[in-house]
Amino acid sequence: MPDMNNSPHPPTDDKRLTLYEEALRDASRQLEEKVQELSLLRRIADISGHIYDLNIFSKSFIDILLEETYAMNCSLLLKTQDEQRFYLKAARGRSDDGSFYDSDIHTETTFDIGQGIAGRAALLKETLLVKDATEDTRFELRYTRTPIGSLLCAPLLFNDTVLGVVNLSHHEKNYFTENTKRLMHIACGMAAEIIGNALTHLRNEQRFRAMFEGVPFAIIIFDSEDDTIIDCNQFTEQCFGFTKQELLAFKNIEALCAPGEEEKIKRVHETQNEKKVHEISFRKKNGELSICEVTANHLVFEGRSVVRLSAIDISSKKEFERKLYQAEKLKSLGELASGVAHDINNMLAAIMGRVELVRKNIALLKQDPHSNAVELIERHIDIIEKAAHDGADMVHRIQRFSRVHDEKEMYQVVNLAEIINDALELTRGRCKDHDVQFGCTTDITASLGSLRPVYGNAAELREVFVNLINNALDAMPNGGKLTIAAATENDTVRISVSDTGIGIPEEIRDRIFDPFFTTKDIGSTGLGLSISYSIIQRHKGTLTVESNTGNGSSFIITLPVATSTRTEPKERDLPAFDVRKKILVIDDDAHVSETLAEMLAYAGHSVACAHSGIEGLEKFSADTYDIVFTDLGMPGLDGFEVAQRIKEQKPQQTVILITGWSLSLDSEQLRARGVDFIITKPFQLKQVLFVIDHALTPTSSRLP
């Protein structure tokens, strides 16, 4: 993957997420292929003990291929003694009920090298895929219990010599894929090694040793009575790093195991003839661990009872699985957060709408000189509104985290002292509950000095400080002192959040910013510090930690001061409407629909509400409306279906979609679904009125 950080034109969040998605899909595909390869290798390794009964080995190998590829027929041809022709050694088929049956074998029937597709595969020494047997001139049609639509033929190559050919067939055309071809090549390559070595052993009386050394996995033979290692193959030396002499010097097989794994070897003894796969960690000579899939078989070797242990190293596979699992956890968390966001946004929409309506009523109350509660009410409303805005920003951030949001971050010049004070206010209740729960006292002091403004997102920075304060409280179950100190040093703002708590052990200090790493109870996600670290990085700052076990911790944030004095644009006056419009609001959440209706009524419009898509369409059909608002996420008919049905009845009808979801559709796709404008939850009065004003302006365009 290219280095996106050093690119002269860094990709957007959307492009970066697309790259990550593509990388994840590619990684998942590679993992599936590797798992399938390992399954084949392990299963073939399990039957390698039958190689001296070639009939059993051939049938077992055919069964493995049929099971792994879901083919309908499989046959194995071997060379005659004069090595000029092939004879049919074994053939198996699959019945309609999925069971296997033996095909008739005529030993007198032979095939010339080069004859038919199997002979051609032997001649070319390569695996051949026939996607349509009826169209391929190389294929000679012959009678089978099921018709042959596609065919896969692979030679058994041993030291560049063709020992035989394996054929797979299926009644469907184009059934086999390039991935099946690759697996067939791998399986036949390993089978050829086993068969070739076995044939060599039979010919030169060194049968066991050649097969023993020819397989691409570790084989260890140890005494079944005292577990003493008797022999091993060369691949064992390569796998674990010990020489054969060093391995034979081990007291027993348990000495090769990683600490704590000794009991697993004993269980191998108990299940050695059940073809059960064990996962055991062994120690390498360099101190690293090798995680292996292990099978064991009982054999008689040089006149003594032994156990033959076959081990396939899956360390890289396990590491790959761990990384993929972590990525999958992030994906799952994003999907969960995206679903929760819809319900949260419904609540926020009602809260923020009510806040603005209350403000309008307060303006009327101010005309009454006897009212002394106005200032207190306004102060509480400010706090509610700020919390609602923060909640909305957090939801949008969660949606971006779940890969469904593509809007650019809204950064501006912000006052850090105000943000830190807000964080202290938001965590005041948590601090009080903490002290009551643990029967302790926590002193919090803030020395903010004269801080220069920084450029960033106030809600995100507020979340960072809330998280650091909560972490500090968790680190002080017996109470203590939490100190926030801030100062401007040249062109950098430096803030430290320090506690007198339990501190962070040195061995985990480098991991505390990793996703999902946590030392807290099972209810903790381990994402808090990771998200905070990412936020500070996005603000072109740093987040570091200084800590000693038992002596507290200090989290230090540095941020560049704002180089611009840019502020938010001056707020425009709310539009006034000369003509009273008829508006239909469709939303299954009564709180949202009523809030939106009151906002519209405040602006002088006539509003009707419907609480489902079906009810909305009924009201639309029974009356005439200038504008229709419809929620997206509704049971039965969703907002897109409602919009499309409305457009079918009246193509020029203005439809405004309300949604708490972050849509990934472009303007053209939205227009195709009948949507003219979009309002995202939580919405504000000014946002609603400006959209209506835009919709009613004759020269206005619809979605850009």
Q: What integer pLDDT is reported at residue 309 of this predicted model?
A: 84
Instruction: Please state which of the four CATH numbers 3.30.428.10, 3.40.50.970, 3.30.1370.60, 3.30.565.10 is assigned to the domain occupying 408-560.
Output: 3.30.565.10
Q: What integer pLDDT is reported at residue 237 of this predicted model?
A: 87
Q: Which runs of consecutive H residues, i.e. helices, occur in 428-540?
A: 428-438, 458-474, 528-538
Q: What integer pLDDT is reported at residue 555 of this predicted model?
A: 92
Residue with the bigger pLDDT between 52 and 557: it is 557
SS3 445: strand
Q: What integer pLDDT is reported at residue 525 of this predicted model?
A: 37
Compute the distance between CA of residue 20 and CA of residue 24 in angstroms, rounded to an integer: 6
Cβ count near 197 (within 10 Å): 24
Residue with the bigger pLDDT between 249 and 140: it is 249
Asked whether 118 and 153 are in contact (CB, 8 A), the reply is yes
Give the lowest-confidence range in 445-459, 568-582, 631-645, 660-674. Answer: 568-582
The pLDDT tens digits of the residues spanning 641-653 come to: 999 999 999 999 9
Q: Looking at mean pLDDT, say which of 4-13, 151-160, 377-386, 566-575 comes out highest.
A: 151-160
Percent of the chain with pLDDT over 70: 73
Q: What integer pLDDT is reported at residue 44 of this predicted model?
A: 84
What is the DSSP secondary structure assignment for residue 114, as one 8-state letter? Answer: T
As given in the structure block, the two tokens for residue 123 are 């001649």
Sign, CA dihedral 94-99-102-104, equals negative
Q: At what angle do helices 315-365 and 685-696 cross, to 10 degrees?
A: 90
The one-letter amino acid at 613: G
**Mean pLDDT within 476-489:** 91
| Whether the domain at 217-313 and the domain at 408-560 fall into the same CATH topology | no
Average pLDDT along the chain = 78
Q: 487 burial class (0-12, 13-18, 19+ CB within 10 angstroms)? A: middle
Query: Which pLDDT band, with edges at 50, 70 and 90, does 524 fall under?
Result: very low
Q: What integer pLDDT is reported at residue 621 of this predicted model?
A: 93
Asked whether 32 and 321 are in contact (CB, 8 A), the reply is no
Find out if CATH 3.40.50.2300 is the number for domain 332-384+573-704: yes
Q: Which fold has domain 30-209?
A: Beta-Lactamase (3.30.450)
The pTM score is 0.35
User: In this model, does residue 305 exceed pLDDT 50?
Assistant: yes
Phi-psi region of 161 (alpha: psi -120 to 50; beta: other; left: phi over 0): beta
Q: What is the CATH number of domain 217-313?
A: 3.30.450.20
Residue with the bigger pLDDT between 273 and 512: it is 512
What are the residue ranges spanned by the domains of the chain?
A: 30-209, 217-313, 332-384+573-704, 408-560
As given in the structure block, the two tokens for residue 155 are 């030679």
For the chain, give me the number of helices (H) and strands (E)? 19, 24
Q: What integer pLDDT is reported at residue 644 of this predicted model?
A: 93
